[in-house]
A and B are shown apart, each in its own frame.
Chain A
Amino acid sequence: MKPPILIIIMATIMTGTMIVMLSSHWLLIWIGFEMNMLAIIPILMKKYNPRAMEASTKYFLTQATASMLLMMGVTINLLYSGQWVISKISNPIASIMMTTALTMKLGLSPFHFWVPEVTQGITLMSGMILLTWQKIAPMSILYQISPSINTNLLMLMALTSVLVGGWGGLNQTQLRKIMAYSSITHMGWMAAIITYNPTMMVLNLTLYILMTLSTFMLFMLNSSTTTLSLSHMWNKFPLITSMILILMLSLGGLPPLSGFIPKWMIIQELTKNNMIIIPTLMAITALLNLYFYLRLTYSTALTMFPSTNNMKMKWQFEYTKKATLLPPLIITSTMLLPLTPMLSVLD
C-alpha cells in the first residue's frame, strides 16, 4: 500500500477509536465506531486474495450489525431518558441491547464465530491490529456503562467465552486461529469483572494487549503462521524460542509471570463478591488454554524438530525485520508480577 494512503487509513483507525473513547455523546461514539470499522477494512485486505476478502466481509457484516444494534440501544435509551449522554443507562432493555452489541464487536461467546475465521484470513500484522487495537474501543464503552450492565447476561457470556476459547483452540495448528481463541478467552475474563471492578478489566486489557503484541511480533519475525513453521525456529533464532516459551506460559496465566496478575486480581474481586464456583470454573477451564500454549512451546522450544538442513544452525544474518519495541514488550509481558502493588495507579 502506498505510504500516504497507509498513513491516512491508520490515522482514521486511531482517530475512530479516540473519538469513541473520548466522547460523551452517543451519536459521536457511533460515528467513531463506523470510522474505525470502515478504515480497518483496507488493512484487513492488504493481501488481495479471496480468503482476505471473505475475512473482511465477515468482519464488516458483524461489526455493522453490532453498530446498528448499538444505535438501537441508544435510541431506546433516548426514548426513555431523553438525553444522549453516556452516563447512566436507565432502561434495562437499552442496556441489554448495548451489551449485546458491544460483546458482538469484541467477539465474546455466543458471538465469537467470526473471530477465528477473520483472524485466519488476514496477514499477521493485520491480525495483530485486529486483536489488540480493535478491542480498546468497545471495552472503553463497556467500562463507561458498567454500572448499568446486566450482570447475569455478561457473566454468562464471559463463562461461555472462557469455555469456548479453551475448547475451540485445542484442535488448531494455525497460529492465527490459536491467537483468536486466546483472544476470546481473555475477553471472557475481562467481561467477567466489568460489573464488579472495572479497573481490573483495564488491567487485564493492558496486559493482554502487551502479551498479544509480543506474541505477534515474535511470529512476524519468522513469518510463521503454522505450528510447523514455528518449530523450525530453533534452527534460525534460538533465542526467540525461549522468548516464545515464557510468553506462552505468561499467556496461559502461570505464576510468576505477568499473565497471572489479571487472573489473580479477577479471582480476588469475584471472591470478594461472594462468587466462588464461577472463578473456580473459569480458572480450571483456562487450563485448556494453557494446554494448547504448552503444546506450541513443546514443538518450538522444548524439542528440536527435524529441520530442513543438515547443520546444527543456519547461517545467522542480522535481523532485518523490524521488531518494534520487542524487548520492552517481552519484559513487561513476563516480569511484571512483583509490581502488582502498583495497581493503585490504575484507579
Chain B
Amino acid sequence: MLKIIIPTIMLIPLTWMSKPNMIWINTTTYGLLISLISLFYLNQPNDNTLNPSLMFFSDSLSAPLLALTTWLLPLMLMASQHHLSKEPLTRKKLYISMLILLQLFLIMTFTASELIFFYILFEATLIPTLIIITRWGNQTERLNAGLYFLFYTLMGSLPLLVALLYIHNFMGSLNFLMIQYWIQPLPNSWSNIFLWLACMMAFMVKMPLYGLHLWLPKAHVEAPIAGSMVLAAVLLKLGGYGMMRITTLLNPLTNFMAYPFMMLSLWGMIMTSSICLRQTDLKSLIAYSSVSHMALVIVAVLIQTPWSYMGAMALMIAHGLTSSMLFCLANSNYERIHSRTMILARGLQTLLPLMAAWWLLASLTNLALPPTINLIGELFVVMSSFSWSNITIILMGINIIITALYSLYMLITTQRGKYSHHIKNIKPSFTRENALMTLHLLPLLLLSLNPKIILGPIY
C-alpha cells in the first residue's frame, strides 16, 4: 500500500517546487500514474484479501473505491484549472496541496485495516474538505455550509468513537481481518440498541440519510468544483463503505433496527427526487439527486443480502463517476455565465454540440440506462428490496420514474430549445473540459463491459 501512499505524499513537494507554469501538468500527470498503480488492486483473489502490511489491506470492497479515489484526483485538478487561474501562485499551490492531502487521507481510509485507524482518517478527511469549501467557495453561504458539514458529521461520529472503543474492550481487537472470525451475535438489549445506533449514525449522516441530509445541498452547492466532485464521488461513499464494514459486527440487531432507517430512506429517495423536479439551481439539483441515489445504497446495505451488497457497490462506483461528471458539466456552465440558475443558459446544444453530447450521456447514466453499471446497481437493489418486502417495488418504481423525469428535465432545460440571447458569446468548450468528460465517461462505459470487478466481496 505504501506504493500508493508515498507517491501521494510526494505529490505535495512536487506542487510546491514545480515551476509556476508546470504545477498543473506535473500534478495531473503523476496523479494519473498513481491511479494506474491502484488499478492493480482490482485483481483480487477470491474469498481472500490482499494483505500487504499490518496496517493496510485491500479487498474487493475497498479496491474499487480506492481506484475511484485515485482516478478522481487528476480529474479534480483538471477541473479546477480555470477558476484558479487568476489566483496568486501560493494560493494555487495551497489548493492543490489540500486536494492531495484529502486524497491521501481517503486512500488510507479505504485501505485501513483497523477500525480506530479508519475512524481517525474518516474524521481527518473533514479538515481539507472544510478548508476547500470555506476558503475557496464563491458565495457568503459557504461559511454556513462548512459549519453544517463539519458539525453534522462530528455529532454523528463522536458516539462512533465511544462505540468503537467499547467494542475494542470486549472483543480484544478492532483489526478488521481478525474480527471476522470472532463475531458473535449481539444479544438484544437496550444498551446494544444504543451501540447499534452509535455505530451507524456516523455513516448515516455521511451518506446522507434523508432526515440528516441538510448539510449536503449546502456543502455541494457552495463548494468549488473540486470540492463538489470529491464530496459527491468519494466522501459520500465513505459512509457506505463504513456501513458495509461495521454491519458485520452488529448482527442480528440489524434485522429490526433497520426498519426506521429503511423507511426514511425509501420515503426520502422519493422526496428528494421530487424536490429535484422543482429546483432552479443546477448544482442543487445534482446534490439532491445524490441524496436520492445514496438512499438506495442505504436500503441495500441495511437489507444485507448478497445481491443487495453487489448492487450497493456497483451503485456507489457508478454514482461516483456520474455525479462527479454532472458537477463538472454544471461547472462548465457556471464558469461561462457565473450563475447556477438553470434557465439562464438554455439551448446550449446549438452553441456547444460536443458538450451537449456529454450532457446527454451523463443524464442517461444518471437515470440508469441499460447497460451501464448504474442500471446494474439500481436493478440489484430493486430486486433485493422486492424480495425483502414486496411493497417496496412501488416506491422503487416511483423513484426510477422521477429520477428519469428530473434527469431529462435537467437535460432539456439546459440543452434543448432556443438559446437565451445573452449566451451567444460564451467561450467554446476547452479541450481540457472535453478531456475531463471523456475521462469520467470512459470508465463508466467500460465497466459496463466487465462489471465483475466492482460488484464487491460477495461476487
Contact = CB atoms under 8 A, between A and B. Distances in A.
27 contacts: A242-B94, A249-B127, A254-B123, A255-B119, A255-B121, A255-B123, A256-B105, A256-B121, A267-B162, A268-B165, A271-B162, A272-B165, A276-B162, A276-B191, A280-B159, A280-B162, A280-B198, A283-B159, A283-B161, A283-B162, A287-B151, A287-B155, A290-B154, A302-B135, A302-B143, A302-B146, A337-B120
B158 interface: yes
Interface residues of A, number: 27
Contacts of B135: 301-303
A287 B154 contact: yes
Interface in B302-331: none
A260 interface: yes
B165 to A, nearest CB: 5
Contacts of B78: none
Given A254-B123, A255-B123, A271-B169, A283 B158 contact: yes
B126 interface: yes
A245 B169 CA distance: 34
**Which of the listed residues A260, A276, A298 has the most CB atoms from chain B within 10 Å of its own CB?**
A276
Interface in B338-380: none
Contacts of A249: 127
B147 interface: yes
Contacts of B126: 254
B155 A284 contact: yes
Contact of B165 (A255, A267, A301, A337): A267
Contacts of A245: 131
A272 B169 contact: yes
Interface in B149-203: 150-151, 154-155, 158-159, 161-162, 165-166, 168-169, 191, 198
B405 interface: no
A203 interface: no
Contacts of A271: 162, 165-166, 169
Given A254-B127, A294-B147, A264 B161 contact: yes
A303 B142 CA distance: 10
A20 to B, nearest CB: 34
Interface in B57-95: 90, 94
A284 B158 contact: yes
Contact of A255 (B94, B120, B151): B120
Contacts of B161: 264, 267, 283
B150 A294 contact: yes
Contacts of A284: 155, 158-159
A32 interface: no
Contacts of A294: 147, 150
Contacts of B116: 264
Contacts of B124: 254-256
Contacts of B284: none
B165 A260 contact: no
Nearest to A246: B127
B151 A291 contact: yes
Contact of A302 (B123, B131, B154): B131
A261 to B, nearest CB: 10
Contacts of B94: 242
A283 B202 CA distance: 14
A280 B166 contact: no
Given A267-B165, A280-B159, A287-B151, A298 B123 contact: no
Interface string A273-289: 00010011001100100
Given A256-B120, A337-B120, A287 B158 contact: yes
B90 to A, nearest CB: 8
B134 interface: yes
Contacts of A290: 150-151, 154
Interface string A65-104: 0000000000000000000000000000000000000000
Given A245-B131, A302-B131, 13 more contacts: A249-B127, A255-B119, A255-B123, A255-B124, A256-B127, A267-B161, A271-B169, A280-B159, A290-B150, A290-B151, A290-B154, A303-B135, A337-B120
List 8 A-B pairs, minimum CB-CB distance, nearest first: A256-B124, A255-B123, A283-B158, A255-B120, A302-B134, A271-B165, A302-B135, A268-B165
A294 B94 CA distance: 19
B154 to A, nearest CB: 6
A284 to B, nearest CB: 6
A233 B63 CA distance: 44
Interface string A244-271: 0100010000111000100010011001
A276 to B, nearest CB: 6
A294 B149 CA distance: 12
Interface in A276-325: 276, 279-280, 283-284, 287, 290-291, 294, 298, 301-303
